[in-house]
Amino acid sequence: MILRPIDALIIIPLALLCLLGLARLARVRPATRTLVGPFAACALGAVVMAFTGVPLAPAPAALLFLLPLLMLVVRATSLAFQWVFQRRQGSPAPSLLDSVISVILYGIGLAAIAHQWFALELTPFLATSAVVGAVVGLALQDTLGNLFAGIALHSEAPVHVGDWVRVVDRDGRVEQVSWRAMRLRTWDGDTLTVPNNEVARHSILNYTYPRAPHSRTVDVGVSYHAPPNRVISVLRQVLEQATGMPTDPPPTIRLVGYRDSSMHYEVRYYYSAWDDWRRLESEIYRLIWYHFRRHNIEIPFPVRDVMIRRAPPAHDTAETPPERLERTLREVDLFRPLSDEELRRVIARTRPLHYAAGERIIEEGSPGDSFFIIDQGQVAVAKRMGGSSRELARLVEGQFFGEMALLTGERRSATIKAVTDVDLFMIDKPAFQDILAANPTIAVDISTLLSERREALSQAEGDLTARFEPGTNKVELKNRILDRIRSYFGL
């Protein structure tokens, strides 16, 4: 039947209107763009057939309509499958599974067209294809194994793109799961391609799923001389200061056993992003060294029998820490009133401390009774002003801080933070207690030096009489400091 002009005036605008509507829908929902081409081809084939009077079957020209129609049906089915999968699984449909469904639909559709519209017998073809399929199946056994393993992986969905997984004893982030293989990006930035049948034969450890926080443990060996409560307290400080350490759920610390040369502690911490655990673990190990060193907690070496060969002593002219400390203390005005014997007594009770860059050594407003001398490194002096912290100065090797807290018990007047890794010498109140008790006149000389240093620091802060009443002169400032020293040490 040939299309009449009056029918063409109705059908052609209607087809164009449907095509425009589909194109507009494709703008709103980009996924539907795949339907525009097949629909246009299908409409064009239908119009051509109607104008020329070509019957729908069994003429070969009917393929102008049937093939675009088949493509339209397959793509519409694919969109429906993707939408249902997304609603039920909460993730995009695997491309491999979508492709397999499309191939099956195309095969069924082409077979139906060949048999129904062109009266082709499919039985001989199926018999021949069975023989060919057996031969091809044997030749492509591994390839087909990868294909079906890939289908199983997509249907079960144990992993998704972006997950961190362990497959065949290798860790990596899933970048793609195709019909043949799973592609991973390793920690080193390399691409690892694992055939699907290898993946199916091994267990898969998914670090990313479920999305709840994951945990890891850090094993710490500590000397038997360190009390457990003290070790646990120091480890808590480490976890509190570790940058980016999650607190929900909070980390846990347990003493889990005794080893040949150490007590064994387990630090369990939690994290959300799996690729963040290495940074957190490095931060914990780094801070443990500094905190244990400051608190005299030993990380013991393994105990074993060794043979020692005595070598001739090497000529070493390097300055030892006690010699360097004695030289440094003699250059500090605060210790000039002390005799050589008194200075050696102070040195004997001095403790070396180590701080990592970024750690706070003392906090403004906190109590303290210790004094610090910088052996190596650099620190920043900051003070709260107008609701914000302002850096006043930086101190380097040979300089000191904390003298007012040591000698008067005054609260810390500033915050000191390590700019680089810092080695310090710390002197506390007991180191001075016996010296001042035996020679109280030293307090007079020390108060003079402290008043001069207080005045210089106050001028640097723009407040000449900081912490003292307005109108206090140098003599009054010295006497006030002297009274505080005597009161603090009970002189």
Cis before 250? omega within 30: no
- Whether 136 maps to a domain, the answer reads no
In terms of domains, do 343 and 476 share one?
yes
Q: How far is CA 271 from CA 19, 217, 255, in A?
A: 52, 11, 22
Q: Which residues of the chain have pLDDT under 50?
A: 1-3, 6, 139, 315-317, 464-471
- Whether 86 maps to a domain, the answer reads yes
Token couple for 165: 């997984």
195: domain CATH number? 2.30.30.60
In terms of domains, do 255 and 183 share one?
no
- Whether 199 maps to a domain, the answer reads yes
- Per-residue b or e along 211-230, where b marks 16 or more CB atoms closer than 10 Å to that residue's CB: eeebeeebebbbeeebeeee
In terms of domains, do 425 and 345 share one?
yes
Total domains, the chain:
4
In terms of domains, do 198 and 218 share one?
no
Residue 328: predicted pLDDT: 80
- Estimate to the nearest angstrom the gap between the alpha carbon of 330 and the chain centroid: 47
Do residues 47 and 2 touch, judged by C-beta distance below 8 A? no
Asked which of 167, 190, 206 is the last residue of a domain, the reply is 206
In terms of domains, do 345 and 232 share one?
no
Q: What is the dihedral of CA 193, 204, 165, 158, to 10 degrees?
A: 100
In terms of domains, do 401 and 336 share one?
yes
Asked which of 167, 183, 206 is the last residue of a domain, the reply is 206
CA separation for the pair 273, 353 (Å, rounded): 35
- Whether 319 maps to a domain, the answer reads no
In this prediction the pTM is: 0.54
In terms of domains, do 469 and 335 share one?
yes
- Whether 275 maps to a domain, the answer reads yes
Amino acid 216 reads: R
- Whether 290 maps to a domain, the answer reads yes
Which of 427, 408, 432, 422 has its CA nearest to residue 486?
408
3-state secondary structure the chain: CCCCHHHHHHHHHHHHHHHHHHHHHHHHCHHHHHHHHHHHHHHHHHHHHHHHCCCCCCCHHHHHHHHHHHHHHHHHHHHHHHHHHHHHHCCCCCHHHHHHHHHHHHHHHHHHHHHHHCCCCCHHHHHHHHHHHHHHHHHCHHHHHHHHHHHHHHHHCCCCCCCEEEECCEEEEEEEECCCEEEEECCCCCEEEEEHHHHHHCCEEECCCCCCCEEEEEEEEECCCCCHHHHHHHHHHHHHHCCCCCCCCCCEEEEEEECCCCEEEEEEEEECCHHHHHHHHHHHHHHHHHHHHHCCCCCCCCCCCCCCCCCCCCCCCCCCHHHHHHHHHHCCHHHCCCCHHHHHHHHHCCEEEEECCCCEEECCCCCCCEEEEEEECCEEEEEEECCEEEEEEEECCCCEECHHHHHHCCCCCCEEEECCCEEEEEEEHHHHHHHHHHCCCHHHHHHHHHHHHHHHHHHHHCCCCCCCCCCCCHHHHHHHHHHHHHHHHCC
- Whether 320 maps to a domain, the answer reads no
- Estimate to the nearest angstrom the gap between the alpha carbon of 75 and the chain centroid: 42
Asked which of 206, 232, 266 is the last residue of a domain, the reply is 206
In terms of domains, do 75 and 167 share one?
no
In terms of domains, do 474 and 409 share one?
yes
In terms of domains, do 456 and 474 share one?
yes
In terms of domains, do 77 and 221 share one?
no
Residue the block writes with tokens 């091809």: 136
| Bridge partners of residue 395, in order along the sequence | 379
Contacts of 319 (CB under 8 A, 6+ apart): 327
218: domain CATH number? 3.30.70.100
Q: Residue 274 is part of which domain span? A: 214-294
Do residues 354 and 422 touch, judged by C-beta distance below 8 A? yes
Do residues 405 and 458 touch, judged by C-beta distance below 8 A? no
- Whether 316 maps to a domain, the answer reads no
Do residues 97 and 155 touch, judged by C-beta distance below 8 A? yes
In terms of domains, do 397 and 440 share one?
yes
